[in-house]
Amino acid sequence: MKKRLYGVVALVILLILSYGVIQYKEKTDNEKLSEENHQVQDGNDRTNMHSIQVTKDQVYKGNLVLVNKDHPVSPVAEASDAVNLSKHPELINGFVLLDNSIRLTPFLVQKFSTMTKAAQKDDVNRFMITSGYRDKKKQTELYEEMGPDYALPGGYSEHNLGLALDIGSTEGKMEYAAEGKWLMDNAWRYGFVLRYPEDKTAITGIQFEPWHFRYVGLPHSAIMYENHFVLEEYLDYLREQKSMTITVNRQKYTIDYYPIIEDTTIRVPVNLHYEISGNNIDGLIVTVYSGEDDASTNEDLNKDASTDESPADTVPAVENPADTVPADEKPQVQKPSSAAPEDG
């Protein structure tokens, strides 16, 4: 009887020790992967590094988080600073609003205004925002009103994230308007991507939406444009590559993917700038560069760079947006021939 009891006790102890070994191995493997990602020599000076603590919550927020039917917006990623643009006319530069309900974050408005200012130099100046940020409650109401064929449930739309907007033209449908054509060729230069292309519906699960643009930032928009990636494909690509370097506008960027299963420590350079974004799935993307931001790294470059060149070679200069646009340069507000439908 005692032997049997001793055997049971020994088995319990063995199971406890085995569980502890597994947990320790997962933790050390995670730390090892983080360290290995930074062993790649990429040309950026990484001799002066320091460690920072990142939490598991970071996986669910940032410019590169994936939002679709399988990956909803996390509560930690919801935009808390979205404002009603009709109540902030100082933010409306180079575009008009479809109605007085449009909400966006000041960050996204600034990025969009930079882009529309550049388009004005090409005599493309009839931009209109038809939809912006929606909270989960508004998205749920839209879903119940329009049904699953035309909207996604609350929390499963990029509009709930605060990094997407629907762009229209006062001249007509985006498929045919000069604004739509200009964005197809140039949006990537300013950190935006067409989120739901016509030939990627099997991957995105969303019908072609020539009006829906998502901000991911440089250099990611350049890589996606060059390789014709949608966000689902790009995040898979980063996971496979683990570490890569790209030069855009003569600015060198290093991108590293970190698998994250718990709070951990990663190493970042002291003397360079970096941005951290989760993918909303299983890891972090750390982008290292020497410039201050998209605008400042581009403002001194050749403004006449050919638009036929590869994004990996050059991106035309991005200037800081003006505080205001003169009244005579604002587009005349006209009733659009076809407003963009509410999308996912």
b/e burial code for range 91-130 (CB count within 10 A of at least 16 → b): ebbbbbbbeeebbbbeebbbbbbbbbbbbeeeebbbbbbb
DSSP readout, 252-266? EEEEEEEE-SSSEEE
> β-strand 103-104 against 264-269: which pairing, if any?
unpaired
158, 171, 179, 209: which one is catalytic? Answer: 209
- CB–CB of 282/66 below 8 Å? no
- SS3 sequence, 193-227? EECCCHHHHHHHCCCCCCCEEEECCCCHHHHHHHH
Sign of CA dihedral 80, 86, 91, 96: positive
Q: Is 209 a catalytic residue?
A: yes
- CB–CB of 77/64 below 8 Å? no
Q: Is the peptide bond before 72 cis (omega within 30 degrees of 0)?
A: no
252 contacts: CB under 8 Å, gap ≥ 6: 42, 43, 44, 245, 246, 289, 290
- How distant, in Å, are the alpha carbons of 63, 135, 215, 280 from that of 159? 13, 8, 11, 15
Question: Any idea which residues carry the catalytic annotation?
Answer: 209
